[in-house]
């Protein structure tokens, strides 16, 4: 794995009290546990609350986010950001490409169309070992990275709304 090159995010606009939605694909339970732990730790550090929705696989994540966002809005408790978590390991068929490209495309389309702070923490890897390199607890956990990415966009959104 290449060395992580992560610039520190300097915007510390207050997001405490904001609500986050985490939608996780539970295809690889042990890897998913680690990704979820990383994302939740970042949200707790930011003083945010969160809900977790579980789906079968990565292709279901974008639809579940859209459904949950709409339901929360209708209930008068909108989410301020969303985090997509999952793991897609390359197999012997073309299915890997379909799942990885289409889930990512749908997430990006939704983030732009809805002006949604969204972190994509769906791993796309060749092997289980590569997945664990990206899911193990600590600084390189991609669940935590996805939360930090969504937090950066949420902070930007809140800062620009004030100006």
Domain limits of the chain? Answer: 19-162
Are residues 130 and 98 in contact, defined by beta-carbon separation less than 8 angstroms?
no
Residue 139: the pLDDT is 79
Distant-in-sequence, close-in-space partners of 58: CB < 8 Å, separation ≥ 6: 25, 27, 86, 87, 88, 99, 100, 103, 122
CA distance 160 to 72: 24
pLDDT (0 to 100) of residue 1 = 46
* CATH class of the domain at 19-162: alpha beta
Residue 101 token pair: 């490209």
**Across the chain, what does the average pLDDT equal?**
93
Residue labelled with tokens 């799942």: 99
Catalytic residues: 95
When comparing pLDDT for 161 and 61, which is higher? 61
Q: Which of 124, 121, 103 is nearest to 36 (CA)?
A: 121
Token pair belonging to 119: 């972190």
Residue pLDDT, tens place only, 57-104? 999 999 999 999 999 999 999 999 999 999 999 988 888 899 999 999
108 Cβ contact partners less than 8 Å away, ≥ 6 residues apart: 120
How far is the CA of 87 from the CAs of 21, 30, 41, 129, 136, in angstroms?
18, 10, 19, 12, 13
Q: What is the pLDDT of residue 107?
A: 98
Q: What is the pLDDT of residue 138?
A: 81
Cβ-Cβ contacts under 8 Å for 158 (sequence gap 6 or more) = 13, 14, 15
How confident is the model over 117-136, as pLDDT tens digits?
Answer: 999 999 999 999 999 999 99
Q: What is the pLDDT of residue 8?
A: 66
pLDDT band at 5 (very low <50, low <70, confident <90, very high): low
């Amino acid at each position: 794995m290449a060395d992580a090159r992560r610039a520190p995010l300097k915007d510390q606009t207050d997001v405490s009290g904001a609500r986050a939605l985490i939608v996780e694909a539970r295809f690889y339970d042990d890897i998913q546990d680690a990704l979820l732990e990383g994302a939740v730790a970042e949200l707790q550090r930011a003083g945010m609350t969160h809900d977790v929705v579980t789906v079968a696989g990565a292709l279901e994540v974008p639809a579940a986010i859209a459904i949950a966002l709409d339901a929360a809005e209708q209930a008068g408790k909108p989410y301020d950001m969303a985090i997509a978590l999952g793991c897609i390991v390359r197999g012997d068929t073309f299915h890997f490409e379909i799942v990885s490209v289409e889930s990512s495309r749908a997430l990006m389309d939704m983030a732009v169309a809805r002006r949604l702070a969204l972190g994509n923490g769906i791993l796309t890897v060749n092997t289980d070992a590569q997945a664990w390199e990206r899911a193990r607890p600590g600084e390189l956990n991609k669940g935590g990275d996805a939360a930090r990415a969504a937090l950066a966009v949420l902070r930007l959104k809140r800062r620009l709304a004030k100006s």
